[in-house]
Structure 1
Amino acid sequence: MNGIKGRLAKGAAWITAARLITNLLGLVSTLVLARLLTPGDFGIVALGWTVLAILNSVTEISIGAVLIHHPNPTREHLDTAWTLSAMRAAAVAAMLMVVAIPAESAFAEPRLPAVLAALAISTLLGGLGSPRRILLTRGLVFWQQFLIEVSQKLVGLIVAAVFAFTFRSYWALVAGTLASDLTGLVISYVVAPFRPKPGLRHWREMFGYSIWLTLAQAINTLNWRFDHLLIGAFLGKTPLGYYSVGDNLAAMPTREAIAPLTSVLFPAFAHVKNRDDGGLEKVYQSSQALVTMIALPVGVGMALIAEPLVRLTMTDKWLPAVIVIQALSAVFAVQTLGSLAQPLAMATGDTRLLFKRDVQAFILRVPSVVVGLWLGGLAGVAIARAIAGVIGIFFNLQVVRQLTGIGYLAQLRPNLRSLTSAGIMVAAVLGSRAALPSGVETSQLVLSLSSQIAIGAAAFIGAQLLLWNLMRRPEGPETELIALFKRLLIGRGARLLGRWA
């Protein structure tokens, strides 16, 4: 267990560094492009991305999960994985071309077929990467993910920004996507050299494991993309631009904050799944508590500062996106309760439970979004998603209970300190607003934004430490973080002493 924790700490450090950099680059990209392009430009490309996401989901093979879950993948498994990935990419590219004309008619957007054609090329690039990089992840080695993710994001940002400055066109978003996928393809073979040799010897084995993941992914994507299609069809590309950018900004803090952990937990769970000493349950509980403690302050905090942040960085033309950010960022943070059901089920091989969970979420969410659109337009959709998201937490808790036997209250109990601290943070920020500048001048927005961030951070950290001490410092995410910092400091100190010696 200590060996796994050590590798997890190193892996999390690599992914944390990658996420910090890619998160910053992604935020810069969104803010720069939002100033140079119009909401309608984002709406056009969002339609293309939505169509691509749906086609990707219904053809997903989950090759990476198969290779990580397999006890001893061979060269022939890699050949099969590469061949299936290439075949799938070619099939998705062909389907994009087939649906281009019907999509143009359905959304009354003559520019959409050209966008879909460009995304077909992007799909082909993404499907030809080296499968050997997955074996590094399987061994809890993650430096290659740092190199690939940072390189992709940096190149994509540069290309998109150049196109946006030069042409002021939605093609900047498409060009950035193409450049990012091409970079990922090249770097994958640099970090994990592989000579492709087409073969399908193990295709049955791979399909046997991934079939439920494919079905779950298809339902889940339809669930998460249905609202984009609905808004594009009934409200138009400009509201869809507000919604897609707001959705992305709302998800970014929570997604990027917990990605270093969630990325390493699937292989970590796979390593301890067969232990008979309750190792899997212990790792899950401690990991979930840590994820919640990290996700809640950043997600809820994003909801609190949404309006001054949008006014300051994206100008008032993007104000309709504020309600989307406020409604979704908080619920994304709360939804992390039980969110580790996904890597847990994949590690144990019980992926049918994920399909069942996603069907339940689909049945709940789609009618909610339709009613929300009918009653409240764009804001109604965001609020409906938030309500459905909170209810959907219990679907994840149910999966965890079936996999580990941990009851609902037992799952929630380790997260109570973080939930209480988040509530105190909200009260502190809202209570301080009367004393903060309320104007729309740049200096006033900067002061208001920085003050709210400082107050929120101090309130959450202070409340978390106070509650932990009042409870006599029980084992939990606080002790995990303290132990991690000690290991990092000791390791750095040892290296410095070695250099002096």
Structure 2
Amino acid sequence: MKLGDSPLKSAIIVVSLRWIDRLIGFVSTLILARLLMPEDFGLIAMASIVIGLAEAMLDVGVNVFLIQARNPSSAHYNTGWTVRILQGFLLFLLLSSASPFVAQYFGDERVQFVLIGLAFAGWVATFENVGVVNFQREMRFSQEFRYLFTRRIFGFFVTIGLALALRSYFALVIGTVTMRLFGVALSFWMHPMRPRLSLEKVSEMMGVSIFLMLKNIFMYVDGNFHKVLLGGGTNTTSMGGYTVACEVADLPSSEVLSPINRVLFPMLTRARDDIHEQLRIMNLTQGIHLLITIPVSIGLCLLADETVRILLGEKWIFVVGALQIVAFFNITSSVISAPNYLMMANGFFKVVMWISFVQLCLFGFAFSFSPWPITMENVALMRLVCLGLGTIFGYYVFKKLVPQAQIKDLFANSIRPVLASIAMTLFIVYFVFGAISDRNEVSRFMITALTGALVYGVTVVFLWLLQSRPAGPEMYVFERLKERFGK
């Protein structure tokens, strides 16, 4: 791929393939939601949060280091593989020792077993062939997809089979361990690299990883502190419901933003000697993020009740209020995600770390002085407000760090999606809801979603034409369609 190409040329492939992979995971969640109880998901969520925090505390950024390295040698890969294994073993020992105290904090002794089981699965995963990182480094995303897809489909059938047989959280733990073991074997089958134990380049790796590790800690805590507080202040049912609500609301991010960002980071890294090219890539990617996540987030808020009833079932109806709030989390991610990747591609891990730290402090302050009781809805609302304030601060820092960036570009990326989403919302509220109130939830969902998508799409195109077709995501789509069908 040429350096000047849009990230979307690769991202379209990645998003298309990644959708299939993520669809399997989402279908798995929906099936498990029908087979298991909310408290089963709560137990897994409680343990997963603790594991994620410990992983962030020990993560020295092996993959990022190898992707950023200009000409990594076999010694670099051997060191990275060894460091990951040592990190995983230390993590397993740490979490096993801490498991009784974690179970005591969450008020459920079952968390101890889940924590130990998932920590062991995490250690197993560190033995995966470090060579697979080259799928992303060399932008061979179809191979990366085959690896992730095969591992995911195996885990899907194993976990669903266990859930049918056991009908308990044991299925989730055993399924995770089994999938990790399969992933190790698969990674060595798919990539010819045969790493060996070595710490030859450990000083070089650690020299650039300290701020990356701190950034990971702050970003993880910032993204999960609200769940920790909810889990400690409520029960496994509320925790399970909130976690599933976040997963449903995270679909725009996991299905679109994450795959695009996997392309964005290596492209920005390759263009790090040309800040104007980096900004071009960043602005186009950010435009795609906003074009998708703003209407989807608003649509999910409008259709939260139907979404829960159709996808999860009546026993999950208590999560509707929280889902309506967390649906808006992705909009803030759309604003700051691409600038964060640009800063990281240029080695400004320390800055990204401090942005996450400030955002975390905002939530801690809000939670400490809040007069509201600890509920799913209240925690979600505080989180949303703090995300908004943190995004404003992060963009301010980014502008100071990269003076070539223009605020008008952010405005240009957001104005059409915002106005079109407002038009979509007004049309649905005033013309659609009243006309379909007597229909069942499936009909209401389909009619509202299709009508909303049509109104949004037509409005975006109209505004784009009204502004004389400015450069941006709409122009990119138009040019690609013209290339394909114009002849």
TM-score (norm 1): 0.92
CA contact (8 A) 2:300 2:327 kept: yes
Local SS of the residue matching 1:4? coil
Asked if the contact 1:37/1:169 (under 8 Å) is kept, the reply is yes
Q: Is the aligned partner of 1:26 residue 2:14?
A: no
2:136 touches 2:262 (CA, 8 Å); kept in 1?
A: no
Structure 2 counterpart SS, 1:273: coil
- Separation of aligned partners in 1, 2:394 and 2:250: 18
Question: What CA deviation, in whole Å up to 9, does each residue of 1:423-476 have, x standing for no partner?
Answer: 22222222234334335xxx6111100011011101111111000000111111
Residues 417 and 468 in structure 1, CA contact (< 8 A), matched pair in contact too: yes
- Deviation (angstroms), 1:297: 2.1
Asked whether 1:470 is paired with 2:466, we answer: yes
- CA–CA separation in structure 1 for the residues paired with 2:484 and 2:192: 31
Cα-to-partner distance string for 1:377-421 (whole Å, 9 max, x where unaligned): 221111111111222221331243134212434433332112222
Query: Is the contact made by 1:219 and 1:358 (CA closer than 8 Å) also made in structure 2?
Result: yes
Aligned pairs for 1:83-102 (under 5 A) are 83-102=82-101
CA–CA distance in structure 1, aligned partners of residues 66 and 483 of structure 2: 31
Bigger shift: residues 463-472 or 306-315: 306-315
Kindly report which structure 2 residues correspond to 1:99-114, keeping only aligned pairs within 5 A, or say none: 99-114=98-113
Question: What code does the residue aligned with 2:92 have?
Answer: A
Kept in 2, the 8 Å contact 1:44–1:237? The answer is yes
Amino acid at match of 1:366: G
Q: Is the 8 A contact 1:257 1:298 kept in 2?
A: no
Secondary structure at the counterpart of residue 336 of structure 2: coil
Shift of 1:231: 1.7
Query: Where does residue 352 of structure 2 map in the other structure?
Result: 354
Aligned to 1:497: none
Deviates more, 1:469-478 or 1:9-18: 9-18
1:29–1:157 contact (8 Å) kept in structure 2 = yes
| 1:61 and 2:60 matched | yes
Alignment of 1:413-428 (within 5 A): 413-428=412-427
Instruction: Supply the distance in 2 between the matched residues of 1:489 and 1:263 (Cα, whole angstroms).
Output: 29
Q: Distance in 2 between matches of 1:31 and 1:180?
A: 19
Corresponding residue for 2:315? 317
Change (3 A) 1:430 1:152: farther
The whole-number CA distance in structure 1 between the counterparts of 2:414 and 2:99 is: 46
Partners of 1:192 and 1:7 in 2: CA distance: 28
Identity of aligned residues (%): 25
CA distance in 1, matches of 2:300, 2:97: 40
1:309–1:449 contact (8 Å) kept in structure 2: yes
The answer as to 2:452 corresponding to 1:453 is no
Provide the rounded CA distance (Å) in 2 between the counterparts of 1:336 and 1:9.
Answer: 15
Matches within 5 A, 1:315-464: 315-370=313-368, 374-375=372-373, 377-405=375-403, 406-438=405-437, 444-464=440-460
Following TM superposition, by how much is the alpha carbon of 1:486 offset from its aligned partner in structure 2, in angstroms?
5.0
Please say if residues 151 and 183 of structure 2, whose CA atoms lie closer than 8 Å, have aligned partners that are also in contact. yes
What is the aligned partner in structure 1 of residue 117 from structure 2?
118
1:119 CA drift (Å): 0.9
Q: Which amino acid aligns with 1:413?
A: A
Give per-residue Cα distances to partners, 1:149-202, cap 9 Å, x unaligned: 222322222122111111110112223322332333233222322212111121
The whole-number CA distance in structure 2 between the counterparts of 1:331 and 1:177 is: 27
Residue range with higher mean Cα deviation, 412-421 or 31-40: 412-421
CA distance in 2, matches of 1:323, 1:207: 44
Q: Within 2, Cα distance between the matches of 1:475 and 1:7?
A: 13
Conserved? CA contact 2:7–2:281, under 8 Å: no
Q: How far 1:293 sits from its partner (Å)? A: 1.0
**Match of 2:291?**
293
Cα displacement (A) at 1:488? 6.2
Deviation string, structure 1 residues 185-232 (Cα, Å, up to 9, x no partner): 233222322212111121122122221121011112122222222222
C-alpha distance in structure 2 between counterparts of 1:370 and 1:432, whole Å: 43
Q: 1:44 maps to what in 2?
A: 43
Query: RMSD across aligned C-alpha pairs, in angstroms?
Result: 2.1
> In 2, distance between residues paired with 1:148 and 1:36?
28
When structure 1 is superposed on structure 2, of 475-484 and 368-377 the one drifting more is 368-377
Q: For residues 126 and 436 of structure 1, what CA distance do their matches in structure 2 show?
A: 52
Q: Verify the 8 A CA contact 2:8 2:260 in the aligned structure 1.
A: no
Gaps of 5+ in 2: none
Q: By how many angstroms is 1:354 displaced?
A: 0.7
Rounded Cα–Cα distance in structure 2 between residues aligned with 1:358 and 1:60: 16
